[in-house]
Structure 1
């Protein structure tokens, strides 16, 4: 199988089915050359152990807007003079990233996620009450999956209820690709949310609350230094980009996966105590990305998987392929199994110094969201033919645009 002549990312034949190139590459050429849609060459890492190694190696930089880097065709006409390309520069690479993460990690803890769980449950029940009152039919994406994470983020940032509509509109324009038409549009949205965040931070500095943003403003590093306004603005934007659409998409993918696998849906209904492991398996099997999303730039020659990747190369680390590696997840890794014992080893949240800080919170949102929907609506079913579901697929995300479902009654 010659993958060097085939544009990457590879196409899926059916939802969540791994491209046939992935298992072949893992078995034969786990670190391989591929060609991007732009025509530029790149490297692709597909095997679980190599993916984890690449995510740990400091010689692979996340900054891919360098001279000589492959052109990643995102569908936008990029203007490299745009400030978008300098966004978050002070916290994207060591030592700035190391210091930033050391400070921010003090706020993003399992304890924080556990403390938020009652609020997540309350938001979920409030949305389900409204859905139940309307009755009949609703869209799991627009009416539910996109609603939970933005409410949680507003709680974290301490945004008053009266100001949430404005913030939600700005956040949606920034993070939801279905609301963007060009790179310029993305840049304008970035500027808008940046200005909003700067104003919010200034207001918080004058009167700190007990929200997470107030804690981030007050936190100090070991040398007593604090995050600058620029770093705080970048943190707010990263929280949105990592915690809004990604969590919504992952929730939507989880429900779609369960609808596609009715025996697993029935199992989770019968055994709700499986929700913790079920979410890990759903993260592994129905991952939001195409496997293309983690792009790296080799700052030096790096030997990986028995291959030397040259300095200056662009490398794509496929978390999606790693999550289907049969050497880790068993010979049936391409099957959804909510009782899979190895599911907790999934790498959907990445690995190493860029492991998702909000992973514990995302897990809580998914666990509460899925469990409460299934408990409230025991007869929930897809409204139509699952083969007609339209998937939004680009270089970074893969998810259903709509998931219309019907309910005849609710359980109390």
Structure 2
């Protein structure tokens, strides 16, 4: 892949995120790129530049207030990424609005509350492993579909009281389509509509029969004081936290499994106890971060990043969280190499930085810390069914993972 002179049209399929990031990094602290329909933006792939912008008060995520193309109608519902800039939730809020929305949800995702979920995560993991073990020996199984995706979906749906299996399927499919950035605008709209309908129905049910779940808690906050959370904000917030609550963890689990199976020497160190599982989780987050570009941020005024790069007021900004972990200036000349011996370093930006730091980070880490050792202990002879080079990435420049991870869990009898 060749990145020509800027502006460069980003690959919306996310097929070569690492290679694309390395080339964009050569253009300075930010590079001029184009999004669907030629919409211009700045792409940030350097760790230092990203970290700086993530805490800069001159950067907003509120497109309605701070992105001229949306405000004056040049960007409309027919734009494929429209839902990323039009939703009303924490992801798109700025300043006091962001603080208000985040405070309503943050109590549900404290490290203490996440830690309290460990027994339930262990139970769900054990059930999934039991089902995997029942499969015929020697046959290939997709660990994304039957493990890496299933566990976080069950965890987040239980948290928010989504008990109906049909609703879970609707949410899973619709939210997956929402991050497929190569999809047409109409496909995204259909997926978003199905998710909104399912969540609106969930809200209606929980309003009539509240339960001990986070959906009921958000409804109570909205109904006690309607100014704190509008009805549209309620549904959009549910969509955000449920989607983010499983998509990130799916990729974290899948990426860690692939890296360990691709590096048997490092897997051996982990099994021997020379390296802890927390180090595996953090190295996976750094080197194969579960999120890539997350649209969009906007400059409130001109920002000089140095090296002749000035982001102008109203310009759109994309930060690649996956690329920052591969920055040799921050992580060394071997940044592109998976190495669990780096230890439990958390100086990466896989979960963001600043006021928009991922609320579900502690829960994602917990799920990985439980699921990964359990999987490798249950299937010590597990191997990839296809060479790692043949594994297909997710069709998105927002997420950074694999569409499937076929693996043989146990050898055929007699082998």
Partners in 1 of 2:25 and 2:311 — Cα distance?
21
Does residue 97 in structure 1 map to residue 92 in structure 2? Answer: no
Identify the residue that residue 73 of structure 2 maps to in structure 1: none
CA contact (8 A) 1:275 1:371 kept: yes
Kindly report which structure 2 residues correspond to 1:94-173, keeping only aligned pairs within 5 A, or say none: 94=94, 95-136=96-137, 137-160=140-163, 163=164, 165-173=165-173
Paired residues of 2:89 and 2:237 also in contact (CA < 8 A) = no
For the 8 Å contact 2:283–2:342, the answer to whether it is kept is: yes
Q: Compute the TM-score of the two structures, normalised by the length of structure 1.
A: 0.84
Which residues in structure 2 correspond to 1:298-313 (within 5 Å)?
298-305=299-306, 307-313=309-315
| C-alpha deviation, 1:224, in angstroms | 10
Q: Closer, same or farther in 2 for the Cα pair 1:174/1:391, shift >3 Å?
A: same
Structure 2: gaps spanning 5 or more residues: 71-76
Rounded to whole Å, the distance in 2 between the matches of 1:83 and 1:252 is: 26
Q: Does 1:54 align with 2:53?
A: yes
Partner in structure 2 of residue 390 of structure 1: 392
Match of 1:197 in 2: 199
Contact in 2 for aligned 1:323/1:346 (Cα 8 Å) = yes
Q: Compute the displacement of 1:116 (Å).
A: 1.2
Conserved? CA contact 1:173–1:179, under 8 Å: no
CA–CA separation in structure 1 for the residues paired with 2:14 and 2:173:
28
In structure 2, distance between residues paired with 1:21 and 1:204: 49
The answer to which of 236-245 and 385-394 deviates more is 385-394
Alignment check: 8 A CA contact 1:198 1:229 kept: no
Alignment of 1:214-233 (within 5 A): 214-219=216-221, 226-233=228-235
Contact 1:5 1:34 (C-alpha < 8 Å) held by counterparts: yes
CA separation in 2, counterparts of 1:397 and 1:120? 23
Q: CA RMSD in A?
A: 3.4
- How far apart in 1 are the matches of 2:48 and 2:389? 34
Equivalent runs, 1:3-402 vs 2, <5 Å? 3-4=5-6, 6-9=8-11, 19-22=21-24, 24-25=26-27, 29-36=28-35, 38-64=37-63, 66-68=67-69, 78=79, 86-88=86-88, 92-94=92-94, 95-136=96-137, 137-160=140-163, 163=164, 165-177=165-177, 182-219=184-221, 226-271=228-273, 274-289=276-291, 291-305=292-306, 307-341=309-343, 343-402=345-404
Superposed displacement of residue 93, structure 1: 1.9
Distance 1:288 1:159, change over 3 A: closer
Deviations along 1:73-127, whole A, 9 cap, x unmatched?
xxx95379x8886432687323322101122112211111111111111111101
Give yes or no for contact 2:89–2:101 (8 Å, CA) kept in 1: no
2:284·2:338 contact (CA, 8 Å) conserved in 1? yes
